[in-house]
Chains A and B, each alone.
Chain A
C-alpha cells in the first residue's frame, strides 16, 4: 500500500471536510477570542485589543475556577463510574437469552431519548423534598426519616445531578456494550465451556479482553460528553446552591453571556478543551499500542 495517495484518505475526506468547516472555525475563533478583551460593545468590530494571557491570568486567580474544575471532575468521574458499572451489568443480564430481553433493552433506551432539558426538569421534580417521589418512596419504606433536599444542599446538589446523569447514560453504555457482547465470537466461549471454565473465569479472561476496544470507546465518549456537560446543570441548579454545582461549561456561559466578558468565557472553554485534548491523546496512545500488540 505504498503508492502515491493512500485511497483511505478519499473515504475520510468528506467527514473531515464537514468537521473542519463547521467545528474548525469555531475552535480557532474561540482561541483567538481568549487572547482579547471582548465585550458586547466590540464583539462585532475589529477593535478588539489583544491582551495576551491576561484572561487566563484572571481566570487562574478567580475564586470560582478551582471550584468549577473540581466539580467538573467529580461530576464526570461519578457519572461515568456508575453509568459504566450499571450499564455493563445490565448488558450482561440482557445478553442472557430470554424472551423479553431484546424488547426490554430497547425499551430502556427511552431514558436516553428524552430531550435533556425535559429530563433535567423531570428530575428536579423527582428530587424535590416536598413533592418529589424519590423522597417520598424511601420515606414510605422507612429508609430515610426526613426528605433530602437534593438540589438545595451544597453537599448533595452535585449528587442530585449525577444521579440524573446516570439515569440518562446507563442505556447508552448498555447498548454499546451489548452490541459489543453480541459481536464476540461464540466459538471461543464454547471452547471455554468445554474446558470447564467458570462464569467468572470466562468473564475475566475472554469477555473483558475481547471487549476492550468497545469498553475504551464507551469510556472515552462518556468522558467527553460528561465533561462538557451544560444543559443539565444549567437547568437543574444553575451552578448553585453556593456554587456547589458550578462546572467549567456553566462558568464559561456565565462569563460570556451573563457578564458579557467573552474573552474570559472563551478562556474557560479553552481550558475545558485542553483537558479533553490531553485525555484524548492518552486514549489514542493506548489504542495505538493496543493495535500494535494484537
Chain B
C-alpha cells in the first residue's frame, strides 16, 4: 500500500476500529515507513491534545437562570415574551399600530357624529313643522268638539312651562291706562296667528305622542282657539259670561285697559313677526277679556332687536336679560302687559 492510502487509515487505526486484515496491512507498512510512523505519532498527539482540552463548565446559576427563562411562560412576563419576542415571527407591530389608529378614528368619528346629531336637533324640529301644523289643526278641531279636554291640555302645558329646558325670558311691558286714541278690534290682531285648515281630524291619543316643540304649538293653537271662542261666546261658553253686572265706571276702566292691552298686543305681534319670530300663546284675563301676556319664540339673533322694538312702544318694568347663549337657535319670551297703576 502507498503512504497516502495508509495515511487515510491511520485515524481508524488509532481508534481501533479497523478490521483485522486492514490493521495488519497498516502495521506492516508502518514497520517499514518512517514517514508514516511520524504521521501516526502526530495524529496520536493531536487526538490526545483534543481529548485533554480543558472542558468549560456551565455557570453556577445555570439552573436558576434556566428557571427564570422558563417561568415567564406564566404571567405578564410570558405575555410580553409571547407578544414581542422574537418579533420577526410575530404579527408585525405596524399592523397593530394600524389597527389602533383605525379604532381611534372610529371612536372620534362616532363622537363627532353624536355632536352633530345634537346640533341638528333644532333643524329636525323645524323640518317637521308641516306635520306640527297639521297636528295643530287637529288640536283646534278637537277644541271645537271637546273644549274641556283642550282646556286641560292648556293648563297642563302652562304648568309644565317652567320645567322646560329652554327657559322663558320674562318681560313686563308697562301700559298707560289713558283713553286710547283709537281702539282696534281684537279680532284684527288675532289674525296674526295662522288659521287652521278646515276638516282636520285626529284621535285624542295623538296629543301625547307629539314632540315637545309641537306641544308648544298645540298650546298656541289652543290659545288661539280660546281667542276665537271668546269672539263666539255662544259656542265656547266662556267663564266671563254673566259678569255684566259691574258698575259703568269700572267697566269703562276695564274696557280702556283692555283696549290698551290689545293695542300693545298687536304691536308686540308685529314686532315678533318683524324679527322673524312667531307667536306661541296669548293669555287673557278671564274676567275682563284683557290680554294678559303673550308667549313668543324669537330667533336668538333677533332677540336684541326685539327688545329694542319693545322699548320703543312701552317701557319695560325691569331691564331685559342679556342673552349670552347666542349660539342657540331661538329663545322663548313671555311679555306680560302690566297696567300702569
Same complex for A and B? Answer no
